[in-house]
Structure 1
Amino acid sequence: MIERDALIPTKYGSMPVFAACPSAPGPYPAVILYMDAPGFREELRNMARRMAKHGYYCLLPDLYYRLGTLRFDVSRRTEAMSVLIRGAMRSLSNAEVVDDTGGMIAFLDAQEQVSPGPIGCVGHCMSGPFVTTVAARFSRVRAVASLYGVDMVTDKPDSPHLLAAQIQGELYAGFAEVDPSVPAHVAPDLKAALEKAGVRHEVEVVPGTHHGYCFAARPDYNPVASEATWDKLMDLFARNLGRGA
């Protein structure tokens, strides 16, 4: 496997990224893995490596770069740390992440290991609305997964569900059965918006899960649901991006 750290120039400064892809000759379809609220860390790097093992060029950006270098040791999380994490999370907007994504796509296009054409995106938690917005803003984004995404349906003008008609790819939205940060109306309202817009999609509430069920380092990790989600991701990418080597 090939791994590298790089800096992507943006109008806000240099954004650190981690990239992983197979070592065999490519090119490979690109997937962008957007971080959750606890931020850039080894657990996300391992997720990027796992996607690379399936034959994709996976790019993991540090979206908190505007704030400097933030690293949270989530295994030692306290309420004080949670306050900082929530503050960092609130510092980002959908529009800023769209700007960042333009820089990421330019970076991907410059890599010889990356095949031209459709791109996939995955977002956990705070990045659910980011990847949904990105799907609406970039026609090349053809496979999108929002996993227990927050703020997917809001009363704000940039609510992701309002952009459904602009999504040209396929979207999977998996919500936790128990998630205080996601009101009960969100999943059905999102599904209704996607159906009205004619977007290929699957919206499901995964039984027996809590927010963060895909992360092995969290108490709410659900290995069965997490592996089922990985299978869904790989099928989603294969249908829309093609299979890697």
Structure 2
Amino acid sequence: MPIKTSQIPTADGVADAFAAFPDDGEQHPGVLMYPDGFGIRPVLREMADELARHGYYVLVLNMFYRHGPTPVIDLPEYIGGEARSAVFAQLMPLIEAHTAEQTLRDADACLGFLTAQPQVRPGPVAVTGYCFGGLLATRTAAAHPNQVAALAAFHAPVGADGPDALAGITARAHFGHAASDLTPEDLDRLNRSLDAAGIDHTSEIYPGTAHGFTMSDTDAYDAAGLRRHWDRLLPLLESALH
């Protein structure tokens, strides 16, 4: 799959991003993907490439562009143990400084950029996200109900903004939670909020997983969890975008 780097003008500056898409001369449904808190790196390019192989134009944003272009910080090839703690120490100030208002400004710019690409089919799009990026995907879907038809978030704090923040979502949604992030009681409370918001959704704990289970370059990686993620994500996109 071709990988194209892009510069996206936003209200707060220029955001760097990359896109993966089929090189077949056809138009394909658009997907805006938000990385996990570690940001853009080889594993995100691999995941975007895999999704593109299923017939999607996948745009991946450097959500920390206000602090510099990719790579915003130096990352080890494998993020685990003491290295994981050191990386988090650098990234947490960036995550904590990222406001909901910034998310919405970025979403406006990225969705406009995505849908203007000649390889993107006119019509609804999807948003996906991992970890902190799953929260950004959820905010994007709530802010663009007439444009976002599918929402998927994995090991993400999707309820962090409170139940009222879910009310605008009209997309079909899937939330895949790490077993270390939610108890069954937490899941029940979240699902009641999703039901109250009228969201067509599935929301489940992936057994035996830790926070970050989709990312193969971290010590949280779980191969079965990643497979389950694809088994949920691909049918969701197929049903909502085709």
Task: Give the TM-score normalised by structure 1.
Answer: 0.90
Kindly provide the amino acid, as one letter, of the partner of residue 240 in structure 1.
A
CA deviation map 1:174-224 (0-9, x unaligned): 111113xx5765422221111112210011011111111111111221111
Q: Structure 1 residues 47-56 or 216-225, which shifts more?
A: 216-225
Q: Is 1:86 aligned to residue 92 of structure 2?
A: yes
CA RMSD of aligned residues (A): 1.6
Q: Residue type of the partner of 1:149?
A: A
Q: Deviations over 1:23-48 (max 9, x none)?
A: 01221000111011111111111111
Using a 3 Å threshold, how does the CA distance of structure 1 residues 78 and 65 change in structure 2: closer, same or farther?
A: same
Q: Which residue of 1 aligns with 2:174?
A: 172
Residue aligning to 2:154: 147
Counterpart CA distance in 2 for 1:109 and 1:93 is 24
Q: Which amino acid aligns with 2:144?
A: F
Correspondence 1:55-204 to 2 at 5 A: 55-69=55-69, 70-74=72-76, 75=78, 77-139=83-145, 140-150=147-157, 152-154=158-160, 159=161, 161-179=163-181, 186-204=186-204
Shift in Å, 1:81: 2.6
Matches of 1:56 and 1:108, distance apart in 2: 12
1:229 alignment partner, SS class: helix
Point out the more displaced range, 69-78 or 17-26: 69-78
Q: Secondary structure at the match of 1:208?
A: coil
2:205 alignment partner in structure 1:
205
Q: How far 1:160 moved relative to its partner? A: 5.1
Offset from partner CA, 1:52-83 (integer Å, 9 cap, x none): 10100000010101011303314262533321
Separation in 1, partners of 2:140, 2:203: 18
Structure 2: segments with no counterpart, 5+ residues: none
Q: Decide which structure has greater strand share.
A: 1
Q: Normalising by structure 2, what TM-score?
A: 0.91
Over 3 Å counting, the alpha-carbon distance change for 1:171 and 1:90 in structure 2 is: same
Distance 1:216 1:78 in 2: 13
Contact between 1:18 and 1:61, CA under 8 Å: does it hold in 2? Answer: yes
Deviations 1:131-177 (A, max 9, x none): 11111110211111110112x334xxxx1532322111111111111
The letter of the residue matching 1:232 is R
Letter of the 2:195 partner, please give it: E
Amino acid at match of 1:113: Q
- Contact 2:21 2:49 survives alignment (8 Å): yes
Deviations 1:73-107 (A, max 9, x none): 14262533321111121121222111101111111
- The unaligned stretches of length 5 or more in structure 1 are none
Structure 1's 205 and 38: CA in aligned 2 closer, same or farther, altered over 3 A? same
**Residue correspondences, number:** 235
Residues in 2 aligned to 1:177 and 1:80: alpha-carbon distance in whole angstroms: 24
SS in 2 for 1:199: coil
